[in-house]
Amino acid sequence: MANEFDLIARYFSRPAPTGFLGVGDDCALLPVRPGFQLATSTDLLIEGRHFFADVDPSTLGHKALAVNLSDLAAMGAKPVACLLSLSLPQADADWLKGFSDGFYALAKETHCPLVGGDTARSPSGITISVTVLGEIQPGKAMLRSGAQPDDDIWVSGTLGAADIALRLLQKKLPDNATLLAATRSALERPQPQLLLGQCLAGIAHAALDISDGLVQDLGHILNASGCGAQLDYDALPVDAALAGLPLNVQQEAVLGGGDVYQLCFTAPAHQRDYILAQAQSVAVRVTRIGRITRQRGVLIKDSRGRSITPPSMGFDHFA
Ligand code: ADP
Ligand code: MG
């Protein structure tokens, strides 16, 4: 099969837009608009850790880019370009075709051309590293440190589906083909909230994307901002697919489940109507789920005022 250079030429050398120098030289060259800041982020996906060895390569290509774009979305940045580094045990043509098609499809949809990367053979297992580059106007980026007491806390989309799909695939929940069919795309084909993020830039005080679980990730905003939060459990946008599941299973998925790639953000109450209108203009559901408090810690209550103890929370690679 192909050597390294054939492989790159065959699967990862689709032309970059005019004004870009893409794959093929020692560096890519990107146009940078005057007056903008460059936003950049990188994420690793490791076989057996972040994805199952037998996952459909096209959905994996999509997800590898999606999780990175989600970081740009969380800052409010607009994609400019991306880089892809691959370490593969062998050059499997079917896998490479599927993976590159899935990757390029999302790159095209989000105007984030692939302009370079690296390719190497791995002794075992696939490792994928994607780096995204984006642009944003100075002062507009949504940092984790900007939340203020009395801000509303918002979340986009729905919660819990990806976690349920993961637990079904891991056989940690009893087999249920209907439930898997209803939740699988949340896990395998997350849609980065780029347009919403760009609408919120300059409006929201703080934001991040939920990769490790709502409560854990919200905790990053609270730590960085030096405040706490009160959440209304009954306001949370529980994914409709979870309806028939026991309450404790739903709660764990909604509060602690990772791989969500929705935005959690805080904003002053006077922006409510504006935020709802902006979200509607980009056809994304947003829900107000609580408020930022001066008092540290996270308090979760249902609408009858009963406290809910968050389940063992979030994901930590070195826990
Ligand atoms: P270098 O010797 O500088 O490391 P390489 O021979 O590794 O360059 O890569 C040749 C070209 O192909 C470079 O432009 C590099 O950015 C690009 N490239 C390598 N692997 C990938 C990949 N997986 N996806 C996109 N571009 C890649
Ligand atoms: Mg190289």
| pLDDT per position as a tens digit, 112-126 | 999 999 999 999 999
Task: Determine if the pTM surpasses 0.85.
Answer: yes
What single-letter amino acid sits at 317?
A: H
Reported as half-sphere exposure (CB side, CA atoms, 13 A), residue 73 has a value of 24
C-alpha 108 to ligand 2 mean position (Å): 24
Mutate to test the pocket of ligand 1, among 14, 42, 60, 118 (most ligand atoms within 8 A of CB): 118
Please tell me the predicted confidence (pLDDT) of residue 319. Answer: 60
Structure tokens that stand for 203 in this block: 């409006």
**Angle between helical axes of 4-11 and 93-109 (0-180°, round to 10):** 40
Write the pLDDT tens digit of every residue in 234-277. Answer: 999 999 999 999 999 999 999 999 999 999 999 999 999 999 99
Atom of ligand 1 nearest to the CA of 25: 14
CA of residue 8 to ligand 1 center, whole Å:
7
How many whole angstroms separate alpha carbon 238 and alpha carbon 244? 12
Relative to beta strand 78-88, strand 127-136 is: antiparallel
The pLDDT value recorded for residue 109 is 98
Cα 168 to middle of ligand 1, angstroms: 37
The more confident residue out of 252 and 314 is: 252
Angle at 145 between CA 140 and CA 150, to 5 degrees: 95
Distance 9 CA to ligand 2 centre (A): 13
Task: Compute the distance from residue 118 Cα to the ligand 2 centre, in Å.
Answer: 4
Two tokens, residue 84: 């892809």
Helices (H), the chain: 4-11, 57-75, 93-109, 161-169, 177-188, 194-200, 214-225, 247-251, 272-281
For residue range 11-59, list pLDDT tens digits in order.
999 999 999 999 999 999 999 999 999 999 999 999 999 999 999 999 9
Give the number of the ligand closest to the Cα of residue 24: 1
Return the closest-CA partner of residue 317 out of 258, 263, 248, 262.
258
* Integer Cα distance of 165 and 51 in angstroms: 12
Q: What is the spatial distance between Cα 208 and Cα 21, in angstroms, rounded to a whole number? A: 31
Residue nearest to atom 20 of ligand 1 (CA): 118
* Residue having the nearest C-alpha atom to atom 19 of ligand 1: 118
Ligand 2 center to 134 CA (angstroms)? 23
Q: What's the DSSP call for residue 124? A: S
Ligand closest to Cα of 114 equals: 1
Residues 184 and 165: their CA atoms lie apart, in Å, by: 5
Measured over all CA atoms, what is the biggest interatomic distance in the chain, rounded to whole angstroms?
64
Residue 99's contacts (CB-CB under 8 Å, 6 or more residues apart) are 11, 57, 58, 60, 61
Helices 93-109 and 57-75, packing angle to 10 deg: 30
- Count the Cβ atoms, other than its own, within 10 Å of residue 109: 14
Q: Relative to the CA of 26, which ligand 1 atom is closest?
A: 3
Ligand 1 pocket (Cβ < 6 Å) reads 8, 12, 23-26, 84, 86, 114, 116-119
